[in-house]
Structure 1
Amino acid sequence: MKYPESVIQSFRQTFGENPALVVRAPGRINLIGEHTDYNEGFVLPAAIDKAIWFAVSPRADDRLHFQALDFRDEFLGELKNLKKSEKHWPNYLLGTFSELQKNGFQPGGVNVIFGGDIPTGAGLSSSAAVESGLLFALNELFGFSLPRPELARLAQRAENNFVGMNCGIMDMYASLMGRENHALLLDCRSLETEYFPVNLPDFTFLLCDSGVKHQLMDSEYNTRRRECEEGVEMLKKLFPKKEIRSLRDMSSEMLFSEKNNLREVVFRRCKFVIEENERVLSACKALKNNDLNEFGKLLCQSHEGLQHAYEVTCPETDFLVEQTFSDPAVLGARQMGGGFGGCTLNLLHRDAVSDFQEKMQAVYRGKWGRDLKFYPVEITNGVEIVNEQR
């Protein structure tokens, strides 16, 4: 499908009029900073040129009419009777209305048609784009005047409370606050943000989708959180004069000085988080100095930590990253996302993309007997209006 033309055309065919608003809500990549969000650390995401597109108009009643082009499905509901749908996909939209109502805002009924080109299951946060994009549209249509950071918090709560997914806020911030050719440094404790330039005239980011979706992720994710929390509680006792709320408050030197007082696995988990926070800040400095070689090295170090210290990679993604070590066109690569599969993020020379894809496809198919998917991405603005007829 071609966007936004397809959502506009479908809206006209379904409702017999032009939409009042057409909104683009991007997915995101996380350049560096994995498993730091729930440890009150730093992340460095960016909005990308894969997006969910919305065509939206207000209704004269309190009914909700949603159409999902990608699912070829629709949903009809009422504002006064918001309840979870067995279809599941409408819940990402319904949750936004629920959170607005909880916070004293009264949106009216709407007609919504949406679809997009964010690959599903690739870890590019299509769900956050849906929530962020619709909240932005409702904010515009009904004049709530909510700032973007508040929209991000509402979108997170919609997914936490209505959909039932205990996600962090990074994905929503990236979708709403993204800026073209910039990465967004997000402090997950204070929610303060800072932009850093990503100048890539000769280089680009390319995602390699391993096609692996391990079922370990939910259980192991919870285990990693508990191990980090155990480390924090022990370090509080070992450093009683320090105000330690999370691993964010620890340095590598402090951690190594008490290595023998921590369980070995807890030490490794804490080591990764503390060093990953340091890598995020070093990555910002590298971007500011336009030092892409240093930035690439930090990506590789991040993967090494994910593989050996945090133990959330898998043989397939390790294989993909290892293949880049001998390729002079690749400055760095790492597994992106929560772990146990998904995509690797590769920073490589633009002129080498075609040869790289051909080589990686051949070796991956030879090793694992299945094809890779590739997603070239460019860094774009966050949620924005692309067409308005009000």
Structure 2
Amino acid sequence: MKISTPGRICLFGEHQDYLGLPTIAAAISRRISIEGAPSDDDQVIIDLPDINQKEQFSIHRTLPYAKDRDYFRSTINILRRRGFIFTKGFRCHVHGNIPINSGTSSSSALIVAWANFLTRNADNPAELTPKELGEIANEAEVLEFGEPGGMMDHYSTAIGNIIYLESTPKIYVEGLKPQLGAFVLGDSQQPKDTLGILARCRYGMEAIIQKVSAYDSSFSIFTTPLAQANDYSSLLSSDELGLLKANLEDRDILQEGKKLLLDSQNTQNADFDAQLGQLLYRHFANLRDHKRTSTDKINRMIEASMKAGALGGKINGSGGGGCMFMYAPTQAEAVAEAIRSEGGIAYIIHVDSGTRLEA
């Protein structure tokens, strides 16, 4: 059996899901696959030649974790808590073409694929919905180990295409089906600075919200208008005020983006591509200037792409390195070459389906 799962890009809502705000993400045509079958013994053997590693363990009744982020074991433990039974091991091979550790959700896609494979090959097999697989992967990767990430990666890679995701006050997922052209994904080959970025973008913003809420009990990250942010200038440093405004504006940009994507499903809009690109670039400007998630190299890759005909784009993922992407429905090859000229690796990509059983 072979299961494949896509990577993802975040169109809107970057660095906002952990604040309880919505996100819009797109699954992409770079995928990771798990191919294998049950074995005759209790050994789980997973070959990962792309990273020159192998996982091997016995599928005991309970699986103690042998290392940090032990996702292969945690997924089995989560599924057992949900009633799945495993008495036999597996022989599996993992291969993918999603850039690794670059902000395109390679690890989440792997865990979604693993959950899909396991549920179909348990002693009591079941075919779960993509949403259920996303929930399981989030629990196995984030909740089980107390990680700081959100759930966008797991739902996006499991469900596929484009999704709008709310996590507050409850989980709500809506599929969006606009007709989008090509994107170009650019890998800067710079390692991400996830912890450093989170210290500023998450913990720094949470401190700002706490400070402003103590001063104004009516403040809400969900509803307070952007223009009202200036009322808090005496409380906050210029840096803090800029971060607050960036989050409020990115919240509003997402809603503009959702409306644009929804409207495009029902009406013809000759300016759709240009408007989408402009919104992506506005989001990037906040990430670059106020959340400071970008790097000089990624900035150069994006500006070179714009000169080559891209309509807009942004850094993708936690930041401090990793990947960016550009929307380039008519100039994908030229944009890819511009990214390469700045030292990046370029991939032309399209929106793709979610986790699936391959024929």
On whether the aligned pair clears a TM of 0.5, the verdict is yes
Q: Are 2:180 and 1:208 equivalent residues in the alignment?
A: no
Equivalent of residue 277 in structure 2, options 296, 299, 310: 296
Q: CA deviation at 1:204?
A: 1.1
User: What's the counterpart of residue 104 of structure 2?
Assistant: 124
User: What's the counterpart of residue 175 of structure 1?
Assistant: 157
Question: What is the identity, as a one-letter code, of the residue corresponding to 1:185?
Answer: Y
Equivalent of residue 259 in structure 1, options 217, 221, 233: 233
Structure 1, unaligned runs of 5 or more = 1-20, 365-370
Question: What is the identity, as a one-letter code, of the residue corresponding to 1:228?
Answer: M
1:276-325 per-position Cα deviation (integer Å, ceiling 9, x unaligned): 12111111222233312111101111111111121221111122222244
**Secondary structure of the residue that 1:311 maps to in structure 2?**
coil
Question: What is the identity, as a one-letter code, of the residue corresponding to 2:346?
Answer: F
Equivalent of residue 179 in structure 2, options 195, 199, 203: 199
Cα distance 1:251–1:340, how it changes in 2: closer, same or farther (>3 A)? same
**Secondary structure of the residue that 2:94 maps to in structure 1?**
strand
Equivalent of residue 34 in structure 2, options 13, 32, 54: 54
Q: Are 2:347 and 1:375 equivalent residues in the alignment?
A: yes
Q: How far, CA to CA, are the matches of 2:348 and 2:102 in structure 1?
A: 13
Superposition pairs for residues 30-41 of structure 1, below 5 Å? Answer: 30-41=10-21
Q: CA deviation at 1:375?
A: 1.2
Q: CA deviation at 1:260?
A: 2.5
Q: Are 2:319 and 1:319 equivalent residues in the alignment?
A: no
Equivalent of residue 213 in structure 2, options 236, 246, 251: 236
Q: How far, CA to CA, are the matches of 1:292 and 1:276 in structure 2?
A: 19
Kindly indicate whether the alpha-carbon contact (under 8 Å) linking 1:29 and 1:45 is maintained by their aligned counterparts in 2.
yes
1:38-95 per-position Cα deviation (integer Å, ceiling 9, x unaligned): 1111111111111111223234543322222324543331122523446x79x33222
Question: What is the identity, as a one-letter code, of the residue corresponding to 2:312?
Answer: G
Cα distance 1:333–1:138, how it changes in 2: closer, same or farther (>3 A)? same
Kindly indicate whether the alpha-carbon contact (under 8 Å) linking 2:35 and 2:94 is maintained by their aligned counterparts in 1.
yes
Kindly indicate whether the alpha-carbon contact (under 8 Å) linking 1:207 and 1:344 is maintained by their aligned counterparts in 2.
yes
Equivalent of residue 248 in structure 1, options 222, 225, 233: 222
**Secondary structure of the residue that 2:358 maps to in structure 1?**
strand
1:18-41 per-position Cα deviation (integer Å, ceiling 9, x unaligned): xxx221111111122210111111
Structure 2, unaligned runs of 5 or more = 265-271
1:213-238 per-position Cα deviation (integer Å, ceiling 9, x unaligned): 254x3133123222211222123233
Question: What is the identity, as a one-letter code, of the residue corresponding to 1:355?
Answer: A
**Secondary structure of the residue that 2:322 maps to in structure 1?**
strand
Superposition pairs for residues 140-151 of structure 1, below 5 Å? Answer: 140-142=120-122, 143-144=125-126, 146-151=128-133
Q: CA deviation at 1:145?
A: 5.5
Taking structure 2 as the reference length, the TM-score comes to 0.88
Question: What is the identity, as a one-letter code, of the residue corresponding to 1:271?
Answer: K
User: What's the counterpart of residue 335 of structure 1?
Assistant: 315
CA RMSD of aligned residues (A): 2.4
Of all paired residues, the percent bearing the same amino acid is 21
Q: How far, CA to CA, are the matches of 2:340 and 2:127 in structure 1?
A: 48
User: What's the counterpart of residue 16 of structure 1?
Assistant: none
Equivalent of residue 97 in structure 1, options 76, 86, 89: 76
User: What's the counterpart of residue 3 of structure 1?
Assistant: none
Q: How far, CA to CA, are the matches of 1:270 and 1:346 in structure 2?
A: 26
Q: How far, CA to CA, are the matches of 2:121 and 2:111 in structure 1?
A: 15
Q: CA deviation at 1:151?
A: 2.4
Kindly indicate whether the alpha-carbon contact (under 8 Å) linking 1:43 and 1:188 is maintained by their aligned counterparts in 2.
no
Question: What is the identity, as a one-letter code, of the residue corresponding to 1:115?
Answer: H
Q: Relative to structure 2, which stretch is displaced further, 167-176 or 137-146? A: 137-146
Q: CA deviation at 1:209?
A: 1.6
Kindly indicate whether the alpha-carbon contact (under 8 Å) linking 1:59 and 1:111 is maintained by their aligned counterparts in 2.
yes
Q: CA deviation at 1:162?
A: 5.6
**Secondary structure of the residue that 2:50 maps to in structure 1?**
coil
How many residues are paired up? 347
Q: How far, CA to CA, are the matches of 1:326 and 1:113 in structure 2?
A: 42
Q: CA deviation at 1:337?
A: 1.5
Question: What is the identity, as a one-letter code, of the residue corresponding to 1:252?
Answer: L
Q: Are 2:64 and 1:83 equivalent residues in the alignment?
A: yes
Q: Relative to structure 2, which stretch is displaced further, 29-38 or 74-83? A: 74-83
Q: Are 2:140 and 1:158 equivalent residues in the alignment?
A: yes
